[in-house]
Amino acid sequence: MKLQEVLTDYIHYLESVRGLSTHSIRAYQSDLNRFEGFVVDRESEWTQLRPADVRAFVGSLHRDNLSGSSINRALSAVKGLYHYAVQFEITGVDPFEHIKSSSSGRKLPQVLSGTEVDKLLAMPDDSFNGSRDRALLELLYSTGCRVAEISAMDISDVQRGKKSIRVLGKGNKERYVYVGRPAQAALSYYLDMRGQYIARNSLDETGALFINLKGTRLTARGMALIINKYMQRSGISKKVSPHTFRHSFATHLLDQGADIRMVQEMLGHSSVSTTQIYTHVGLEKLKKVYREAHPHGKR
């Protein structure tokens, strides 16, 4: 099969069988397009790449000044392609089988302090938009959900009493997240405002939990813009994205002694190794305290 045909089939496999998110699919597509361009430029057959070709591809990633994590992501995408091709007997050879990921020097995630979180949560007003925004910010911090997961939530996913919410995560894996009292209160107030807003503006009822002014589902992109708006107004200098609330949720739980396996379940991580990055955040905080407070810490 031609490489382009295999790439099309593989992307469809990732979407329909693996159930990857739209964001992940775009990342795979970008990395695999880069690999396809490399194969075309070298006028090589993708099923007959030699070790020298593989080294040249890795070298091209470095020459393009990609970060360590971006290089690892590209290699992972190509390895996945060949694993798929071998599994379905499209080819019998995987030239990337013994290629190891590079040391990326993974950056620790940005985390908000408790004071900074409180400052952001206090900013929205009592208008329809404000009530929605406060409920959104509260849920992001209270549940640790990905912004795409919250965007996909329907009212029917909110359990009785608003103490938990059903979430459909990556790979269509279902889990339940817990809602703290401040988030419960914000969600109740918003849902009352939401019903009034739809009735007042004669909008068709929709099952989406978070809606925009047109009454349609608020997208992940729309949520990111909302968060950015409040960040700019807050004066907080940190670079914050919707995922920063997820990082803060996990880090604050672990800092307070929560079991890492429980945090893994709440985040929907398939492996505890993914969750362990947040223990490193706590260690870095301890190191900073030591350096600043201990008489010999600065030596």
Same domain, 118 and 171: yes
Say if residues 75 and 119 touch (Cβ distance below 8 Å): no
Residue 158 lies in a domain: yes
Q: Could you write out the DSSP letters of every residue in 48-96?
A: G--HHHHHHHHHHHHHTT--HHHHHHHHHHHHHHHHHHHHTTS-S--TT
Give the CA count within 13 Å in the CB-facing half-sphere of 176.
10
Q: What confidence score (pLDDT) does residue 98 get?
A: 83
- Active-site annotation, residues: 146, 170, 243, 246, 269, 278
Hey, what are 245's tokens?
């609330």
> Based on the domain organization, do 45 and 157 belong to the same domain?
no
> What CATH number has the domain bearing residue 156?
1.10.443.10
**Co-location of 235 and 131 in the same domain:** yes
Q: Please write the tens of the pLDDT for every residue from 98-133.
A: 887 765 555 666 888 889 999 999 999 999 999 999
In this structure, the answer to whether residues 234 and 188 fall within a common structural domain is yes
Which residue among 222, 242, 262 closes a domain? 242
Number of domains in the chain: 2
Average pLDDT over residues 81-87: 93
Q: Is the pLDDT of residue 286 over 50?
A: no
Is position 137 within any domain? yes
- pLDDT tops 90 at residue 273: no
Asked if 118 and 238 sit in the same domain, the reply is yes
* Same domain assignment for residues 120 and 221: yes
Q: Check whether residue 171 and residue 61 sit in a common domain.
A: no
The pLDDT value given to residue 22 = 84
pLDDT of res. 262: 82
Higher pLDDT, 139 or 99: 139
In a domain, 276, yes or no: no
Q: Tell me, what's the pLDDT at 104?
A: 52
**CATH code assigned at 50:** 1.10.150.130
Is there a single domain that holds both residue 64 and residue 120? no
The answer to whether position 201 is within a domain reads: yes
Residues 127 and 198 in one domain: yes
Torsion of CA 29, 30, 31, 32, to 10 degrees: 40
- The string of pLDDT tens digits covering residues 153-175 is 999 999 888 889 999 887 778 88
Q: How many Å apart are CA 265 and CA 276, to the nearest integer?
A: 13
Q: What integer is the mean pLDDT of 77-104?
A: 86
Query: 138 and 183 share a domain?
Result: yes
The answer to whether residue 134 scores a pLDDT higher than 70 is yes
The pLDDT tens digits of the residues spanning 248-258 come to 888 888 777 77
pLDDT tens digits, 220-249: 999 999 999 999 899 888 888 888 898 888
Determine the pLDDT at residue 278.
Answer: 66
106 within a domain of the structure (yes/no) = no
Average pLDDT over residues 270-281: 66
Q: In this structure, what is the dihedral angle of CA atoms 168, 173, 174, 180, given to the nearest 10 degrees?
A: -70
Give whichever of 59-63, 287-291, 295-299 has the largest mean pLDDT: 59-63
| 120 and 238 belong to one structural domain | yes
Within this chain, do residues 15 and 53 fall inside the same structural domain, yes or no?
yes
Q: Specify the higher pLDDT residue, 175 or 287.
A: 175
Neighbours of 21 (CB within 10 A): 18
What number is the average pLDDT over the span 11-26?
88
| Residue 62's pLDDT band (cuts 50, 70, 90) | confident
Q: Does residue 290 sit within a domain?
A: no
Say what the pLDDT of residue 91 is: 92
- pLDDT(45) > 80: yes
**Residues 225, 228, 234: CA angle, nearest 5 degrees:** 145
Question: Would residue 287 count as lying in a domain?
Answer: no
Domain hosting 81: range is: 3-87
Residue 209 lies in a domain: yes
pLDDT for res 181? 93
The pLDDT of residue 29: 94
- In the chain, what is the straight-line distance between the N-terminal and C-terminal CA atoms, in Å? 62
- Is a pLDDT exceeding 50 seen at residue 290? no
